[in-house]
């Protein structure tokens, strides 16, 4: 099996390199697309991707490609990109999948602002995306799943999920009732509470997902997605490993933050959140789960950590109000 995976990965890589050479021959050049990142104090995490596009293409237009065409991208691996944030300039290099993921140190702590722009470019073309900041003394934050937690996907029904992902227009997608209000409740107050939307969805969907969250009134935050397709050692990306690694990374990047973990019971969120909370009980304030199988709010505990379940955001909000008085 491992030989077959290796052979398939090499074939895919070879075909991509061939397609890249052909595209460059027709005048296509790299464009850098910045994604919303996050940071606190003097450390910021910059995210983005480098793609090949026809000459004259503005980077941000690649985020507005409709439907299944979003997945017809040609990545530009090992490409240098100029990045500027808060007056700090640095050149980064995309990885083998064209992705950019780096932590930058800024000399002056970024305080007093909810976000700063990060500018990313290749050659004469550049684009900006917000870099969401936590207060330097932030003590709480939110990690929130996307599919069937804030966005109705019905991931347990593959055909319905595929239709909604590949065909349905993002403006016609439905939000899980009450979840925008719940997340605004969790982030209320004077301090800038970091919100990280964590999903196994592909980076190709970041444009419509960002638009959906903004259109439905969810608090702004970084999106932590993943790369679909063949991996060097497996046929498909490991979604659980992606979420597990992202939680551990957040614990390292923001050591003073206690997290509210928001998810649903349709996939692996309960087990992954329990695993993280058991290993780091001092870093988890509460676990909130959308659970269509319960008729009303249910309050449990994992040690001293509250675990609340309800069919929607309004039910979870009521459970929190009861719990916290």
Residue extents of the structural domains in the chain = 2-133, 140-324
How far is Cα 310 from Cα 325, in angstroms, rounded to an integer? 18
3-class SS of residue 80: strand
> In degrees, to the nearest 5, what angle opens at C-alpha 250 toward C-alphas 119 and 309?
120
pLDDT digits (tens, 9 = 90+) for 1-46: 577 766 766 767 777 778 778 878 888 888 898 999 998 878 889 9
Q: What pTM did the predictor assign?
A: 0.86
Give yes or no for a contact between 285 and 140, defined as CB atoms under 8 angstroms apart: yes
How far is Cα 198 from Cα 204, in angstroms, rounded to an integer? 15
> In degrees, to the nearest 5, what angle opens at C-alpha 158 toward C-alphas 152 and 161?
30
Give yes or no for a contact between 190 and 196, defined as CB atoms under 8 angstroms apart: no
The H or E element containing residue 252 is helix 239-253
Q: Which residues contact 202 (CB under 8 A, 6 or more apart)?
A: 71, 225, 226, 227, 228
Q: Is the four-CA dihedral 96, 101, 103, 108 of positive or negative sign?
A: positive
- Fold of the CATH domain 140-324: Rossmann fold (3.40.50)
Q: Which residues contact 122 (CB under 8 A, 6 or more apart)?
A: 29, 30, 31, 32, 50, 79, 80, 81, 82
**Neighbouring-strand partners of residue 30:** 52
Return the structure tokens found at 156: 């347990």
pLDDT of res. 163: 47
pLDDT of res. 307: 97
Tell me which architecture the domain covering 2-133 has in CATH: Sandwich (2.60)
Mean of the per-residue pLDDT values for the chain?
A: 84
Max CA pair span of the chain: 66
Q: Which residues of the chain have pLDDT under 70?
A: 1, 5-6, 8-9, 11, 59, 61-72, 108-109, 111-112, 154-172, 228-239, 325
Q: Which residues contact 5 (CB under 8 A, 6 or more apart)?
A: 230, 231, 232, 233, 234, 235
pLDDT of res. 303: 93
pLDDT of res. 124: 78
Q: How many residues does the chain have?
A: 325
Return the structure tokens found at 78: 């090992």
Q: Which residues contact 233 (CB under 8 A, 6 or more apart)?
A: 2, 5
Q: Is 302 exposed, middle or buried (0-12, 13-18, 19+ CB in 10 A)?
A: middle
pLDDT of res. 161: 47
Phi, psi angles (nearest 5°) of residue 238: -90, 105
């Amino acid at each position: 099996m491992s030989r077959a995976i290796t052979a398939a990965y090499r074939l895919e890589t070879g075909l991509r390199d061939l397609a890249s050479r052909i595209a460059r021959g027709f005048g296509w050049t790299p464009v850098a697309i910045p994604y919303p990142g996050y940071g606190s104090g003097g450390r910021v995490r910059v995210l983005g991707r480098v793609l090949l596009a026809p000459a004259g293409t503005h980077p941000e237009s690649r985020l507005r490609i409709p439907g299944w065409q979003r997945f017809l991208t040609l990545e530009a691996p090992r490409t240098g990109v100029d990045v500027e944030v808060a007056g700090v300039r640095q050149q980064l290099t995309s990885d083998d999948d064209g992705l950019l993921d780096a932590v930058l140190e800024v000399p002056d702590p970024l305080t007093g602002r909810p976000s700063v722009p990060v500018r990313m470019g290749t050659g004469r073309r550049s684009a900006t995306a917000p870099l969401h900041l936590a207060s330097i003394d932030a003590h709480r934050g939110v990690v929130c799943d996307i599919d069937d937690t804030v966005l109705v996907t019905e991931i347990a029904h593959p055909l319905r999920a595929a239709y909604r992902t590949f065909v349905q227009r993002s403006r016609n997608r439905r939000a899980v009732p009450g979840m925008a209000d719940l997340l605004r409740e969790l982030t209320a107050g004077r301090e800038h509470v970091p919100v990280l939307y964590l999903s196994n969805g592909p980076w190709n969907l970041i444009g419509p997902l960002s638009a959906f969250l903004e259109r439905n009134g969810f608090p702004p935050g970084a999106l932590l997605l993943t790369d679909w397709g063949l991996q060097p050692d497996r046929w498909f990306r490991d979604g659980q490993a992606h979420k597990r690694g992202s939680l551990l990374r957040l614990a390292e990047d923001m050591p003073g933050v206690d997290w509210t973990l928001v998810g649903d019971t349709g996939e692996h969120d309960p087990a992954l959140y329990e695993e993280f909370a058991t290993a780091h009980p001092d870093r988890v304030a509460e676990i909130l789960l959308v659970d269509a199988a319960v008729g009303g709010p249910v309050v449990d505990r994992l040690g001293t950590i509250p675990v609340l379940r309800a069919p929607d955001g309004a039910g979870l909000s009521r459970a929190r109000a009861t719990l916290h008085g």
